[in-house]
Amino acid sequence: MVDREGRRLVFVKTIAKSARSEVLEVERDGERLALKVLFAADEPEIGAAFEREVAALADARHPNIVRVLDCGRARGGLAWILMPLYEGVTLRARLRGNRTLSPRRACRLFRDYLDGLEALHRAGVVHRDLSPKNLFIGRDIAVGRTAHGLILDLGRAHLASRDDLVTGDQIVGTLGYLAPEQILGGAIDERTDVFALGLCLFEALAGVPAFEGESAGELLHSGVPHLAEARSGGVFDILGSVVARATKIGPGERFASAAEFREALVQAWAFAREEAA
């Protein structure tokens, strides 16, 4: 396979594979890169996901969002996106086995995720599918950057003007991280992503998902537990108040933006450190 400039992309190994795509490690001119290949991109739904992801990544360039180096279409209904190769793990892999992040590390990583999310929203993009599998902890091999948080996989993102709202009957997202408005087919905006990231923060600190129901209806009626119910200690009471605000059932009760969420998290962590001193 070659890129759009005709440079060869040499297969090294498969990193991940799903029903509709795979991520490969490739080498181009001696540089290790990641190649995301989408199958059946000539089908309307898959092709639309490809166009969304490319457009979203192009519009929201930021150190905490995976970036596009090149993209294109190939024979056989394939589409591809060439990206830097990041060394690390997803948040899902890091939390496997009910493991947790320390409050300090969680606050640092989620500040990164919120920085990236703010950039997405500023570009008029709602992710719609934030979950631990789409949050990465790693470093860019090419520049040797230390561990930081990255937002991955914008294939389900919605591109719109900042004041646009998305509605529809089809539920888009990962069960267990859906906001109530997604389940009910209501208006989708930045606060939908705030809710999902709040659930991810809960899981990172508590070691268990906030929701473990098997249907959207169960999730809708179970409510979000307070972090202090899962972890005891003053720091969890303080950070739990931030999680609780992010995951309010009504969008109007949540943080209005990723920036507001980040500022509250930074302030809560600073206060928790002072209390512990």
Query: What domains are defined for the chain?
Result: 10-84 (3.30.200.20), 87-276 (1.10.510.10)
Closest by CA to 225, choosing from 9, 74, 77, 208, is 208
pLDDT of res. 109: 95
Instruction: Note the pLDDT tens digit of each residue in 1-30.
Output: 888 888 999 999 998 888 778 899 999 999
**pLDDT on residue 76:** 79
User: CA–CA distance from 53 to each of 84, 94, 221 (Å)?
Assistant: 15, 25, 32
Catalytic site residue 29? no
60 Cβ contact partners less than 8 Å away, ≥ 6 residues apart: 116, 119, 120, 122, 123, 125
- For residue 159, the model assigns a pLDDT of 56
Q: Which residues 6+ apart lie within 8 Å of 121 measured at CB?
A: 162, 190, 193, 257, 258
From 129, 153, 189, 193, active-site residue: 129
User: Which residue stretches of the chain have pLDDT < 50?
Assistant: 161-169
Q: What is the pLDDT of residue 171?
A: 55
CB neighbours (10 Å) of residue 209? 17
Report d(CA 245, CA 243) in Å as an integer.
5
